[in-house]
């Protein structure tokens, strides 16, 4: 399968057992087939290339006993304990073929022999020779990570650009608030308007990414958030200069940028197949106070805009006209505010479910890994 990736697999042994640790988190739909000659494993999870479908296929150096072997799925990994067949002996390698596999590493926590000295002597194991082999393999395992593919580079650069943009907006607005809060309230668009227009326009790509299969997520939450923000920014605020000097606009920009300065670093790590517990916790916790505040701020901006658009009649269409239709934009804004309740509930319930799944294995603030 072209889309199948290999997770990192760490292995160690005793004279009678093989230990495997598959570096794959949040595993779902795993399929395990262990025979005397080998192991086949397929699952979906979060590994070296982020959330994806991973597979391993190992032909063992010597036969094993599947009936006496076992495995368990943990939060951060999958562990195998495989019983060797026949008389116990130290294998010079895990695989039957002497082929270098960059995803297969030595687990040095599992190479320490737990047998007594007399047992080691009885099995006539040349420890010095074996440790030289381990040292040689360790040096050969210092591989340079392959250069990321085009998709990974693109997603990383996109998230980096968005992170820099929102960080500038948050920093600039915070600086002016500290320096002169009255100036910041009345000049929000002058301070960060251009940057906000740029990053929100670029955010349209977040609707396109899942549709093209670049990321594994539903396009609906991204569509609701991006279109909602852009409607408020480009249509409601962008076409009515009197809203540029309202204090609620400053609050709205600060809320939006606060959400994104923790969201995009999480995405940057994800596309590289990495995870940081603190960043993950912030990404799935910051929304708890910020999402409701953002919904309220957007609703206030729209309510404040209604009398302005009643005066200017901009975007309204009156009869008679060639299309024989009428449209009164202030009424649309009034009805649009009613959408915030179901839309807000959907967004927050989606984030709550994601938080339960993402944070269950974090070792942070008293949360224990499974």
Residues 209 and 215: beta-carbon distance below 8 Å: yes
pLDDT of 356 higher than 90: no
Q: In what order do the strands lie in the sheet with 25-34?
A: 25-34, 38-47, 50-59
pLDDT for the residue 251: 96
Q: What is the mean pLDDT of the chain?
A: 85
pLDDT of 350 higher than 70: yes
Residue bearing tokens 């349209």: 204
pLDDT of 110 higher than 60: yes
pLDDT bucket at 362, cuts 50 / 70 / 90: low
Per DSSP, what are the bridge partners of residue 84? 64
Domain ranges of the chain: 9-140, 150-359
Going by the DSSP 8-state scheme, the letter that residue 215 receives in this structure is S
- Secondary structure class of 90 (helix, strand, coil): coil
pLDDT for the residue 153: 92
pLDDT for the residue 53: 83
Tell me whether strands 17-22 and 50-59 are parallel, antiparallel or unpaired. Answer: unpaired
pLDDT of 368 higher than 50: no
Q: What is the pLDDT of residues 134-191, one digit of tens each?
A: 555 555 544 445 556 888 899 999 999 999 999 999 999 999 999 999 999 999 999 9
Non-local CB neighbours of 339 within 8 Å, separated by 6+ positions: none
Q: What is the pLDDT of residues 33-68, one digit of tens each?
A: 999 889 999 888 888 888 888 889 898 888 898 888
Say if residue 214 is exposed, middle or buried (CB neighbours under 10 Å; 0-12, 13-18, 19+). middle
Distances 31 to 35, 40, 64, 175 between C-alpha atoms, Å? 13, 8, 19, 54
Q: Dihedrals φ, ψ of 98, to 5°?
A: -85, 75
**CA 187, 190, 195, 201 torsion-angle sign:** positive
Mean per-residue pLDDT for 287-296?
A: 93
Mean per-residue pLDDT for 292-296?
A: 94
User: What distance lies between CA 173 and its chain's CA centroid?
Assistant: 27
The third-level CATH classification (topology) of the domain covering 9-140 is: Immunoglobulin-like (2.60.40)
Q: What is the pLDDT of residues 215-266, one digit of tens each?
A: 888 899 899 999 999 999 999 999 999 999 899 999 999 999 999 999 999 9
Token representation of residue 281: 């916790």
Tell me whether strands 9-13 and 104-106 are parallel, antiparallel or unpaired. Answer: parallel
Q: What is this structure's pTM?
A: 0.62
Neighbours of 289 (CB within 10 A): 11
Q: What is the pLDDT of residues 8-42, one digit of tens each?
A: 899 888 888 899 999 988 888 888 999 988 999 98
Q: Dihedrals φ, ψ of 112, to 5°?
A: -70, 125
For the annotated catalytic residues, the residue numbers are 291, 298
Residues 344 and 292: beta-carbon distance below 8 Å: yes
pLDDT for the residue 47: 84
Q: For residues 130 and 91, give the distance between their C-alpha atoms in angstroms, rounded to a whole number.
A: 9
pLDDT of 365 higher than 70: no
pLDDT of 126 higher than 50: no
């Amino acid at each position: 399968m072209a889309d199948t990736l290999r997770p990192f697999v760490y292995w160690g042994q005793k004279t009678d057992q093989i230990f495997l640790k598959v570096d794959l988190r949040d595993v779902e739909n795993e399929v395990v087939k262990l025979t005397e000659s080998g192991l086949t494993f397929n699952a979906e999870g979060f590994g070296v290339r982020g959330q994806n479908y991973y597979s391993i296929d190992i032909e063992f150096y010597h036969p094993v006993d599947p009936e006496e072997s076992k495995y368990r799925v943990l939060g951060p990994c999958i562990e195998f304990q495989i019983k060797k067949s026949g008389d116990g002996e130290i294998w010079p390698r895990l695989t039957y073929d002497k082929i270098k596999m960059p995803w297969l590493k030595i687990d040095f926590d599992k190479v320490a022999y737990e047998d007594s000295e007399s047992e080691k002597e009885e099995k006539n194991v040349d420890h010095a020779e074996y440790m030289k082999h381990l040292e040689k393999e360790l040096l050969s395992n210092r591989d340079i990570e392959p250069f990321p593919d085009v998709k990974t580079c693109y997603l990383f650069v996109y998230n980096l650009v968005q992170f820099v943009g929102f960080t500038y907006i948050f920093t600039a607005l915070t600086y002016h608030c500290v320096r002169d809060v009255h100036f910041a309230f009345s000049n929000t668009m002058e301070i960060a308007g251009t940057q906000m227009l740029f990053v929100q326009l670029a955010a349209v790509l977040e609707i396109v990414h899942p549709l093209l299969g670049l990321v594994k997520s539903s396009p609906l939450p991204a569509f609701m958030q991006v279109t909602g923000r852009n409607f408020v920014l480009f249509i409601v605020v962008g076409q009515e200069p009197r809203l540029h000097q309202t204090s609620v606009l400053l609050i709205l920009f600060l809320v939006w940028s606060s959400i994104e300065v923790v969201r995009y670093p999480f995405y940057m790590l994800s596309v590289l197949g990495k995870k940081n517990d603190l960043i993950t916790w912030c990404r799935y916790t910051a929304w708890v106070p910020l999402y409701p505040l953002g919904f309220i701020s957007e609703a206030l901006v729209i309510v404040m805009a209604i009398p302005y658009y009643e005066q200017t009649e901009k975007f309204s269409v009156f009869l008679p006209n060639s299309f024989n239709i009428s449209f009164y934009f202030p009424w649309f804004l009034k009805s649009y505010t009613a959408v915030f309740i179901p839309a807000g509930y959907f967004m927050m319930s989606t984030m709550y479910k994601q938080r339960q799944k993402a944070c269950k294995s974090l070792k942070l603030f008293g949360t224990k890994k499974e």
